[in-house]
Amino acid sequence: MINKCLFPAAGYGTRFLPATKAVPKEMLPILNKPLLQYGVEEALSAGINNMAIVTGRGKRAIEDHFDNASELESQLRGTSKEHYLDDIKSVIEKSTFTYIRQTQMLGLGHAILTGETLIGEEPFAVILADDLCIDGDINLLSKMIKIYEKYQCSVIAIEEIPFTQTEKYGVISGDLIDGTNDTYRVTNMFEKPKSHDLIEFVEDRVNPNYASSFMAIAGRYILTPDIFDILKKIKPGKNGEIQITDALLFQANQGKVIAYKFKGKRFDCGSVEGYIKAINYFAKKQELLK
């Protein structure tokens, strides 16, 4: 069983400055709902109620969002506007939130390690809320939990990306697991590689169309708790940060990382371009755009 979901949300969000100078990136809205609430709702619909959030300086809006607002509630009670609070109140009722602050932003791996005291010795999910994932009818995290239950090791979500964009992502190679067409045992991982450094991928078995695309890690993980000890041991990697990709590579070398190629859409809402695409997608879905 996966009982807890960790949300690393301490990053500076530099690609979205100046908006993220005082507003946490994870609180940027897609229509009227902040990114982090989409993530929490995804965890809830995968059966997880325990939300462990790694925050940092200037991120108090996150805690306030997932708390009661008695003054506002009593102001709206009995008025025609009361229903505007229904969704968030239901999320708060169903979830337990715990928080810890990352005091130095030393990378995603370090943020995950900071969450260790909230997670303990159990497998857990990780959602990067700025990576908004829509997986058709099936909830992506639920699908990944099923894969975890079968293979009992770490599971990552992957998607195809253009050859020209490898420098933005963790890129993987792996072997398709017999009897599936979307599940791979990971054999190698690279953090934000230059595409011309990926010559080895010519032999890549994940993606026969290697010339035009690669497989990149999306912001959803199921991690086994041994990841914490690995994170404590590894040295800073790309950009001097503690990289989760380096820790996962350690597990992958023991055959203990499965990658699931999901079929839905992913919006990188940490970039202005991805954010606009996400807003357009949801606005069209709700028929707000003609």
Tokens of 49: 């109620």
CA pair distance 124, 225, nearest whole angstrom: 8
Task: Quote the least distance from Cβ 70 to ligand UTP, whole Å.
Answer: 29
Q: Position 6: which residue type?
A: L
234 binds ligand UTP (CB under 6 A): no
Binding range to ligand UTP, per CB under 6 A, among 41-49, 99-107, 190-198, 206-214: 99-107
Chain-centroid distance of CA 104 in Å reads 20
237 binds ligand UTP (CB under 6 A): no
Q: List CB contacts of 8: < 8 A, sequence separation 6 or more.
A: 54, 102, 108, 111, 112, 115, 126, 128
The radius of gyration computed from the CA coordinates of the chain, to the nearest angstrom, equals 19
128 binds ligand UTP (CB under 6 A): yes
Q: Which is nearer to ligand UTP, 102 or 166 (CB)?
A: 102
Q: Which is nearer to ligand UTP, 106 or 176 (CB)?
A: 106
14 binds ligand UTP (CB under 6 A): yes
Q: Which is nearer to ligand UTP, 136 or 240 (CB)?
A: 240
Binding range to ligand UTP, per CB under 6 A, among 125-133, 150-158, 163-171, 176-184: 125-133
Tokens of 195: 């595409």
Q: Which of 130, 159, 191, 246 binds ligand UTP (CB under 6 A)?
A: 130
Q: What part of residues 33-72 is at the interface with ligand UTP (CB under 6 A)?
A: 54
Q: List CB contacts of 251: < 8 A, sequence separation 6 or more.
A: 153, 154, 224, 226, 227, 230, 257
Phi and psi (nearest 5°) for 198? -105, 30
Tokens 């946490």 identify what position? 24
Q: Which is nearer to ligand UTP, 58 or 120 (CB)?
A: 58
Binding range to ligand UTP, per CB under 6 A, among 92-100, 126-134, 145-153, 196-204: 126-134
110 binds ligand UTP (CB under 6 A): yes
CA pair distance 18, 163, nearest whole angstrom: 30
SS3 category, 41 = helix
Our CA dihedral for 67, 72, 78, 81, rounded to 10 degrees, sits at -90
Binding range to ligand UTP, per CB under 6 A, among 13-21, 42-50, 80-88, 165-173: 13-21
8 binds ligand UTP (CB under 6 A): yes
Length of the chain: 290
Binding range to ligand UTP, per CB under 6 A, among 41-49, 72-80, 103-111, 159-167: 103-111
Cβ(246)–Cβ(109) below 8 Å: yes
Task: Quote the least distance from Cβ 210 to ligand UTP, whole Å.
Answer: 25
Residues that bind ligand UTP (CB under 6 A): 8-15, 25, 54, 102, 105-108, 110-111, 128-130, 270
